[in-house]
Structure 1
Amino acid sequence: MVNLEFMNVTPTNHDEVVPVLEPYVDGILSIRSEQAQAQSVDNDNYYNDGFADAEEPPLLEELGVDVDKICARLLRSLDPTGKREAILADFDPVGPVAVYVAYTALVFVARGKFVFGHVYGLSVLTALGVYGLLWALTGSSRVTVTAVFTVLGYSFAPSVLVALAAVFVRLDNVFGALVVLAAVLWSGSNASAEFVATYGNVDQKHLITYPCAVAYCLHLLLVLF
């Protein structure tokens, strides 16, 4: 038989144990400290990535579409007594296309006709014609098709109001003809004033107004007939 004798190894002097345990305790604490620091770094990176995604610009801004500027130009084109400003290097096709889309949508609701192809095609042909006229009158290299298309598109905004009125009121009468005539003169005057402010050819204002008014008249005939 084997006799097992249990010895009491509990030291009576605590000072003898502390030096032995200190390296192990320090090692454990250092490992835990490193783990906590790594977790803190990961959390900081996660939150920083989240804030970076939240601070990204909107999609329209990334596409170069300034909604506030478009609304300001539309309001200016609806003000027949407003002052015009030269915006040579600041043209955009988004606003004019939105105006034409709104017009064709209202014509579809009022008359049941889908005329976007006619409206857009006529607007492009008008822009090319007015571009040639302005280039012949001014001889300036600053005249571009994009600039002319933008000015004509924004100046078309009063015609959108006529299409909106056609949704609620019948305009295929004398009253409607007078409303269309007023809108044509309004839009043509806006376009010519914008071109004059941009290119400085004040003497040819009425000459520029005529082709613009004719183009707007052709657009608005879709509301009457």
Structure 2
Amino acid sequence: MMKEFAVPPVVFPSGGNPGSSSGVQQRRVPTAPFQPPRSAASGIPFMSFDIGSAVTSTSSASIYGGPIVGGVGAPGGASFEDEEPLLDELGIHPDQIWKKTRAILNPLRVNAAVHEDSDLSGPILLYMCLCLFQLLSGKIQFGVILGWIVVSSIFLYVVFNMLAGRNGNLKLHTCTSVVGYCMLPVVIFSAVSLFLPQAGAVRFAIASVFVFWATRVCTGLMSALADGGDEHRGLIAYACFLIYTLFSLLVIF
């Protein structure tokens, strides 16, 4: 004989049978996060999207302060191709330096129109070259050369304005630029002196040629760039001669 077991009835917390449809509260199915429950009364579809990608794109656009152009975010909506080169932002123009340097190479034909826009990047480059050649000859004169260039520029500026009087319109920036670019013959002499004997008349003869070269170019530029320079051309030439003789003696000794 089979023995019957008494099975206790199953009682749900809601107090009813899950199969019944009246008066029974069914369990709610969990929905995905950030999604409202679908209801037939609303009738508005809701599109799911990835929160992480949206936040990343929004934050990157807000950090760069503009739209993303060409795949790279740039400030103000401009790309990196529209930016100026680094040398131009620093005020260094290699083409301009080369034109001014090439104008110094011909002492018989001085082109003053090229030197109307004065700059200090070319004179600093020539100053470094002169210091380098002096270093190769065993002379460490960085501070001495820099100090003499500053003093020479101020000296020529004061002398010219005193000679011109009220008509003197020479600026110190222009004077420093002209004195620095006219240092090119002295730089060449410093490079040539590395292969010359330390003593002898040949060294002084070659030095005199480069000194007259630098004096003529500097005098022509000063007379052309400033008003009233033609009237005192001889005195300006004498001041320039003293300046470049001083630098040539620094190279010789």
Q: TM-score range by the shorter chain?
A: 0.7 to 0.9
Q: How many corresponding residue pairs? A: 208
Q: Which residue pairs with 2:211 in the alignment?
A: 184
Pairwise CA distance, 1:141? 5.1
2:85 to 49, 58, 74: 58
Maintained 8 Å contact 2:219/2:236: yes
Match of 1:214 in 2: 242
Q: Decide whether aligned partners of structure 1 residues 64 and 101 sit closer, same or farther in structure 2, where only a CA change above 3 A counts.
A: same
Q: Percent identity?
A: 24
1:107–1:114 Cα contact (<8 Å) kept:
yes
Cα RMSD (Å) of the superposition? Answer: 3.4
Does the alignment pair 1:155 with 2:182? yes
Distance 1:65 1:49 in 2: 25
Shift of 1:159: 0.8
AA matched with 1:205: R
Residues 1:115 and 2:138 are matched in the alignment: no
Whole-Å separation in 1 of the counterparts to 2:184 and 2:115: 20
CA contact (8 A) 1:151 1:194 kept: yes
Moved more, 112-121 or 186-195: 112-121
Structure 1 residues 172 and 108, CA, compared in 2 at 3 Å: closer, same or farther?
farther
- Inter-partner Cα distance in structure 2 for 1:137 and 1:59: 41
Which of 100, 111, 130 is the aligned partner of 1:73? 100
Query: Mean alpha-carbon deviation: is it higher for 199-208 or for 123-132?
Result: 199-208
- State whether structure 2 residue 157 is matched by structure 1 residue 131: yes
Normalising by structure 2, what TM-score?
0.68
Q: Is the 8 A contact 1:130 1:148 kept in 2?
A: yes
Per mean C-alpha deviation after superposition, the further-off stretch among 188-197 and 42-51 is 42-51
The partner residue of 1:146 within 153, 162, 173 is 173
Q: Does 1:95 align with 2:122?
A: yes
Higher helix share: 1
- Unaligned stretches of 5+ residues in structure 2: 1-42, 50-59, 62-66
- TM (norm. structure 1) is 0.76
State the alpha-carbon separation in 2 of the partners of residues 190 and 78 from structure 1.
9
Call closer, same or farther: CA 1:178–1:99 in 2, change over 3 Å. same
> Hey, what's the Cα distance between the residues in 2 that align with 1:182 and 1:72?
23
Q: Write out per-residue CA displacement over residues 60-92 of structure 1, whole angstroms, 9 at most, x where no aligned residue.
A: 110111111011111111211223324686211
105 and 85 in structure 1: CA distance in 2 versus 1, 3 angstrom threshold: same
Q: Which has the higher contact order (CA 8 A, sep 6+)?
A: 1
The 3-state SS of whatever aligns with 2:79 is: helix
Contact 1:171 1:177 in 2 (8 A): no
Query: Which stretch shows the higher mean deviation, 70-79 or 180-189?
Result: 70-79
Structure 1: unaligned runs, 5 residues or longer: 1-22, 33-41
Quote the Cα distance in structure 1 between the aligned partners of 2:207 and 2:145. 16
Contact 2:160 2:168 (8 Å CA) reproduced: no
Q: CA deviation at 1:170?
A: 2.6
Matches within 5 A, 1:32-47: 45=68, 46-47=71-72
What secondary structure sits across from 1:202 in the alignment? coil
CA distance in 1, matches of 2:208, 2:150: 22
CA apart distance, 1:48: 6.4
Query: Of residues 77, 84, 88 in structure 1, which corresponds to 2:111?
Result: 84
Higher-Rg member (1/2): 2
